Amino acid sequence: MNFVHQLQALTPHSRLCVGLDPEPGKLPGAWAGDAAKFYDFCAAIVDATKDLVCAFKPQIAYFAAHGAEAQLERLIAHIHDVAPGVPVILDAKRGDIGSTAEQYAREAFVRYQADAVTLSPFMGLDSVEPYLAYEGKGAILLCRTSNKGGDDWQMQRLADVPGQPRLFEHLAHLAESQWNRNGQLGLVVGATYPAEIARVRELAPTLTLLVPGVGAQGGDAASVVQAAGRDAPLVVNSSRAVLYASNGADFAERARAVAEATRQSLR
């Protein structure tokens, strides 16, 4: 199944995506401070939560910063092995053009075997097209992010576009229409902006929304579901609240408990 079909099969059961963002200093017990244990830690989280999620989202920078790319490859292979049908979204936020973008696409889909990747669309459609060449893979575009600096660009109105939409609105429209040639696009919208989630959903009713920020970052699950629509394609990410629910030997058990509670709150 391709990325969209995988989500369609799983989201009636769960809208929860668990983010895999390992930090050495936050690893439990004797693993604390040891980046060589990223795979062991994340694989244990995957094993504990694989029946509760619609996706996993490893953040590439957390692995690359510690020279742990081989562990990331192994981790994604493990997810495909123990949770077949659960898609992996590689959170990379790439945003380049031409042959460079082609190499980034190869990195995501060939080297890491991800099912989807997050992208920054600032450079336009030609920065997205190399990813769309991979049939069935997802390309999830940053649209309305939850950081304060997002207002610098995303909330600005476009005087040369009819209706003078804000930048994030124009992007949502493009992604829903002429950019979405093969039905592969999705959009990232931060959980801390329910009104903008509702607006993006209005403009892009068929696209999958990836919503980070529930849990430790302060996003409210119920508000996200209400804003995005109960029957619309929706993937809500929680990372730190699940990963670091405990720093003891029971870390995987506690991660499962938090994941289950979050999953229930999204139903």
Q: What pLDDT, in 10s, does the model give residues 163-181?
A: 999 999 999 999 999 999 8
Enumerate residues 6+ apart whose C-beta is below 8 A from 38: 22, 27, 62, 63, 66, 68, 71, 72, 75
pTM above 0.85, yes or no: yes
pLDDT tens-digit readout, 117-166: 999 999 999 999 999 999 999 999 999 998 889 889 989 999 999 999 99
Residue 140 β-bridge partners: 118, 186
Catalytic residue among 37, 57, 93, 148: 93
- pLDDT at position 218: 61
Q: pLDDT above 70 covers what percent of the chain?
A: 98
pLDDT tens-digit readout, 205-222: 999 999 997 765 566 777
- State yes or no: is 148 an active-site residue: no
Q: Which CATH number fits domain 3-265: 3.30.910.20, 3.40.50.720, 3.20.20.70, 2.40.160.40?
A: 3.20.20.70
